[in-house]
Structures are given as structure tokens and as C-alpha cells.
Amino acid sequence: MNRSSRTAEKWRIIIADDESLIRLDLREMLTHLGYDVIAEAGDGRTAMDLARKLRPDLMIMDIKMPEVDGIAAAEELTRERIAPIVLLTAYSDQALVEQARDAGVVGYVVKPFREAELMPVIELSRARFDEFRTLEREVGSLKDALETRKVIERAKGVLMETHGLRESEAFHRIRKTSMDARKSMKEVAEAILLAHEMDFSMSTSEDVDGQE
């Protein structure tokens, strides 16, 4: 049975954190939300071994762990196409976020976290992972999919801001335009960004002219 046919079933989740109390809290919250925590790990290497063995629907890992950190583990598991990765982090460093995105991470939960924050992040992460697999099928390689994803994430942000779309709606609009125009999704995303930059430059120039 593939993941797409599991809609009525519990998502199977592996959690990894070197702090046992964090794992306990996370397990209780996820179980209360209806998810199935199938395994736990206290270090990155064990988390990767469990992921390969159990093939979960989602991995939630701390960004700082012994043996292998969360970003390195995410990069390898993404390369092996095992499961979407959500990182637990106490950091808001933009460079770290960029590094994690390049590794294939699809979501973040900032410590200290609350139960109410988990489900939206998990749902969004699953959707982003499905989008990523769509990109990979289109461009034909993991590396190109990661590069294309960066551009499309920015273009989705523009569509969400300017047209009030949800993230999934923005992605589907880019994909539909790509199919209708027979252009790659990356080309469509780049065109959206260029048009947005031109509009911003023109509005800025008009504001300056109006102040003179």
C-alpha cells in the first residue's frame, strides 16, 4: 500500500532527539493528535537506521544530535527518498534554515513547542514532500529538484502575498501554468519572481517621483 492510499490511516512517525524528556513530550502530543509513533532514537545514526528499516510516513528529528546531526541525516534520507523530514530546533538562524532546506527538510518546529503547533506543521510538511516528489519527477534528478524547489518556494510566497492563495493553491497554479504554457515549473516560477520585482521597482520609482 502506498502513502497516497493511507488517507484514513494513522501516519507512522519516528521521532529522534537526544533528550529523553523531549521525546516523551513529543510522543504524548503526537499520540493525542492521532499519529502513530512507531519508534524513537536518541542519536542521528540510530534514527537513520530505523528509518531505513521501518519506512515511516514522517520523521521528526532534533537538529543537534550525537553521531549524525539532523541536517546531515535529512540530506541522506531525502537522497534515499525515505520520508519527509521535520526538524526540531531552538534556533532561528536564517543560514541554518537555508542549509536545512538545501538538505531537503520540509518543515520546522521551534522549541519549546506546543501540541497545537504540531499538526499544521506535519500536514504542511507532507504536502511539501508530495510537491517535491512532483518536481523530482519533472526535472529527473534530486539535485535539480532541490534547486528548482528554492525558486518555486519564493514564487509561491509571491502568489500567496499578492493573491491571497494558500500554499497548495499557489503550487497548483504554478504547475497548471507550466502545463498550459509548456514551460518548466522553474521557468514559470522565475517569470513570477521577475514580474514581481518589476512591479516593486516601478511602484518604488513612482513613490520617489511623487515625493519630489
User: Could you give the CA distance from residue 143 to residue 134 in angstroms, rounded to a whole number?
Assistant: 14
**Residues 87-103 pLDDT 10s:** 888 766 566 766 777 66
Phi-psi label, residue 59: left if phi above 0, alpha if psi -120 to 50, beta otherwise: beta
In terms of average pLDDT, the best of 3-7, 192-196, 198-202 is: 192-196
Identify the structural domains of the chain with CATH numbers, from first to last. Answer: 1-126 (3.40.50.2300), 140-212 (1.10.10.10)
Q: 7-21, 42-56, 98-112, 192-206: which has the highest mean pLDDT?
A: 42-56
The C-alpha R_g of the chain, in whole angstroms, comes to 19
pLDDT in tens, 104-144: 677 888 888 888 888 888 888 887 777 777 777 777 666 77
Q: Which residues of 142-151 are buried (b: 16+ CB within 10 A; e: fewer)?
A: beebbebbeb
